[in-house]
Amino acid sequence: MKITAVLLAFAFLFAPPLSAGGMADRIVATVNDEPVLASDVADAVRVEALMQGRAVGDIPLADYQAAMDRLIDRMLIRQQMISGYTPPVQQVERRMVQVRGAFPEAKSDAAWQGILATYGVNEQQLRNSVEEQLQLMQFVDVRLRHMARVSREEVEAYYQQKLLPELSHKGAPSEPLDNVRSEIYELLLQQKIDAQLNSWLAGLREQADVRIPHPVIAGGGASSGTSFSAVVGR
């Protein structure tokens, strides 16, 4: 399944809490009476940084607020799930390899364990996060994909108005439409899924009892917009 470049880190709500680097482990939000702990937010930030290959030091406070907003979104979606989905082992392993592959220095198992320790993450927690990420990706895709439609005209308009000018600007040769039709279709489909997701999450937020007694930073609240891959952690 192709996902756009952003819906990050679906899988951290039930992972074992890590040291929160000085943050008191208190309830920072509740979602329909389900708590979000400060350690949940701290864990999510570190695992997200690891999965993106970003340095873990000096994480801005804004990252913690954004992580809490995503945790709230994920909890709202999880509460809509009636039955679970177990991702194939091969899919989990493939994603684990991708995460490790972002660190060229992780050639040995010892080096990889050292990197995990730098992030304050253990391998089982990462695996649990990957499994839950894939589970929630599948749920959102099944829930929303059938509502998104992309017409032939939209594909052709994107090709003429976006792709060809971009290739020309870069001095790259143009590609025949038939060679890129499926890629353009999937890109536009994902954009429509993202729009459906934003609308769905806005509705869930309106209906839910979301309380933030101790926001991670001032100004907490619903994110102004998100995408499938940001919520699911790609």
Q: Does some domain include residue 159?
A: no
Number of structural domains in the chain: 1
Q: Does some domain include residue 9?
A: no
Q: Does some domain include residue 64?
A: yes
Q: Does some domain include residue 66?
A: yes
Per-residue pLDDT of the chain (234 residues; tens, 9 = 90+): 333 323 333 333 333 334 444 445 788 899 999 999 988 888 888 898 898 888 777 677 888 888 899 999 989 998 998 777 788 999 999 999 999 999 999 999 999 999 999 999 999 999 988 998 898 888 888 889 889 999 999 999 999 999 999 999 999 999 999 999 999 999 999 999 999 999 999 999 999 999 988 666 433 343 445 544 444 444
| pTM for the model | 0.71
Q: What is the CATH number of the domain that holds 86?
A: 1.10.4030
If you count DSSP H runs as helices and E runs as strands, how many of each does the chain have, helices first?
A: 9, 3
Q: Does some domain include residue 156?
A: no
Q: Does some domain include residue 124?
A: yes
Q: Does some domain include residue 35?
A: yes
* Alpha carbons 218 and 3: distance in angstroms, whole number: 31
At 234, which helix (H) or strand (E)?
Answer: none
pLDDT computed for residue 12 by the predictor: 36
Q: Does some domain include residue 183?
A: no
* Alpha carbons 157 and 162: distance in angstroms, whole number: 8
For residue 96, what are the domain limits? Answer: 27-147+203-232
109 φ, ψ (degrees, to nearest 5):
-60, -35
* Alpha carbons 8 and 19: distance in angstroms, whole number: 21
* Alpha carbons 4 and 188: distance in angstroms, whole number: 10
